[in-house]
Structure formats: C-alpha cells, structure tokens
Amino acid sequence: MSSKMKILISNDDGFESPGIRALAEVAKEFGEVTVVAPHRERSTAGHSLTLHKPLRIHQHANGFYSTSGSPADCIYLGIREILKGKPDVILSGINCGANLGTDVHYSGTVAAAREGALLNIRSFAFSLVDSPEAPPKTVRTPLRFEEAAKVAARTLRSLWDAQFPKHTLINVNIPNLPAVEVKELVVSRQGFRYYSNETQKRTDPRGKDYFWIGGAYSGFEPGVDTDCETLEHGKVAVTPITIDCTHNDFYTTLRRLNPKL
C-alpha cells in the first residue's frame, strides 16, 4: 500500500452520514482520501446521471465535498472537477442497510462503485446489513458503523492486491456485529432478494391522490454461496460484479437459433 495512492469515496446516504465518515477515517490507512457525496440521501437512485439540470459542488470545513447530484454524478464530478484525474481506488458506503442480491440494480451505493468500474478504476461498495427478519416494532440493534469500518479495512487489506478484470467492482456486505465477532469472509455469488412490493395510496389535504411504493423485505431465494446466504450466517459477503449483463448461455442458444428478420 502506498500513502500516495488517491482514494475517492462516495455513497448514497449523503455526505453527513455516519457510514461515510467511518469509511473515510479507516481509508486514510490506504492513501490520500477525497470524499464527494450527495448533499442529501439518494438511496435507490440507481445508476443515474443528471443531464437536464445544473449540478453544484460545495466544499465543507472537514474537507468533504457535497453535490446536488446522484452518487454516480459524485464520482463523475469528483474525477473530472475535483481530482482532475482518475483516483487509484473508489470506495462507496458504508451504506445504511443491505445491498444484497437484486438490490444492486437499485442501489446508489453500488452505482457509485459501478461508475468507477466503467472507467476501469478498482472500486468497492460497502454496506452494513441489519437483521431484516425482525418484526417492524422490534427494538433493533443500532447500526455499528465504526465496527463495520474496521471490517471494511480488514477486507480491503485482504483484497488490495487482487487484479480486477476490466469493468468489474466488488460488492461487500458486512453483518451488523462487533468487529471481533466477524471472523470470516466468503466470496459469494449474487443472490435474489424479494420485497412485498406494496403500493400505498393516500390523499393529500387538497384531495389529490399520491402514492408510496416499495414494500417490506420478504426473504431471499435459497442458494449455495449466495451473498444473502452468507450474511444469514454472520459472515462478510464479497461479490464480484461485472458491467456486462449478457447471459452467456442464452447468448449461445440464440446464436445457434440464428434468428432472421
């Protein structure tokens, strides 16, 4: 590890979130840290870029930068306007909640790392996983961001010398446990996570209808070595994700069919 390495950090929970502050602190071990994150929470923003309205950058007293855009905007602006060049590593997180299975398609945290992967920058996304099976009114254990940051640092040390294929990122999900209790890392496949997909229709004071979408977590599809299964056993799930979404087996099948117009 070199203290001269440039590390760009972002997230989707906002520049004031405890997760990003904890991650930025431990990242100093690995190099020179710059934080560029949304000025407010942008959870489930996905991989969106803001093309139809202006973006603003604000520098804060702690040396952090915030922008009015999405997590992917933050990486875009961080590279081109703040660092004026590519960093050596991009870290995103630590997210407040899981980014397991199909969550990665909605996640702004993963999108920030994916924006780096598009540019072939080594990129990691970190998320802290609560216990989703607890009933809604159960008193939950507070999210241990500082403990998760210690685990994130241990994970980075173990993966620092890994050679990334082109356009690839690593998605890391950490159980909400004291760091001393998290003793195992499992390289995992992406699983499938499900939600109730409820829609709530309500009426505003002017009599106009409005809607809340997105239901509660309802479980995952069983599978050996999936990220969801790994977290169920209190272990760190490390999942390599590539930008190319081609289904290679189906691609081969379709090529053999030789469809024509």
Domains and CATH numbers, the chain: 6-191+221-257 (3.40.1210.10)
- Residue 228 contacts residue 191 (beta carbons within 8 Å): yes
Rounded CA-CA distance 115/112 in Å is 5
- Does the pLDDT of residue 217 top 80, yes or no? no
- Does the pLDDT of residue 136 top 60, yes or no? no
- Does the pLDDT of residue 131 top 90, yes or no? no
- What is the rounded radius of gyration, in angstroms, for the C-alpha atoms of the chain? 19
Q: What is the pLDDT of residue 138?
A: 53
Q: What is the pLDDT of residue 153?
A: 97
Cα–chain center distance at 199: 25
Confidence of residue 3 (pLDDT cuts 50, 70, 90): low
Residues in a beta bridge with 193:
220
Rounded CA-CA distance 110/71 in Å is 9
pLDDT in tens, 177-206: 999 999 999 999 998 887 777 788 999 999
Calculate mean pLDDT across residues 49-77. Answer: 92
| Lowest mean pLDDT segment, chosen from 31-35, 42-46, 231-235 | 42-46
pLDDT, averaged across the chain: 90
- Residue 229 contacts residue 157 (beta carbons within 8 Å): no
Starting from the edge strand earliest in sequence, which strands make up the sheet with 236-242, in order? 57-59, 65-67, 32-38, 6-10, 89-96, 122-129, 168-175, 236-242, 185-187
Q: What is the pLDDT of residue 212?
A: 83
Asked if the bond preceding 20 is cis, omega within 30° of 0, the reply is no
DSSP 207-252: S-EEEEE---EEEE---TTBHHHHHHTT-EEEEEEES----HHHHH
Calculate mean pLDDT across residues 236-255. Answer: 94
Q: Taking the alpha carbons of 45, 51, 55, 57 in that order, is the dihedral positive or negative?
A: positive
156 phi, psi to nearest 5 deg: -60, -40
Helical H segments across the chain, by residue range: 18-27, 71-77, 108-118, 145-159, 227-232, 248-257
Calculate mean pLDDT across residues 121-142. Answer: 75
- Does the pLDDT of residue 126 top 70, yes or no? yes
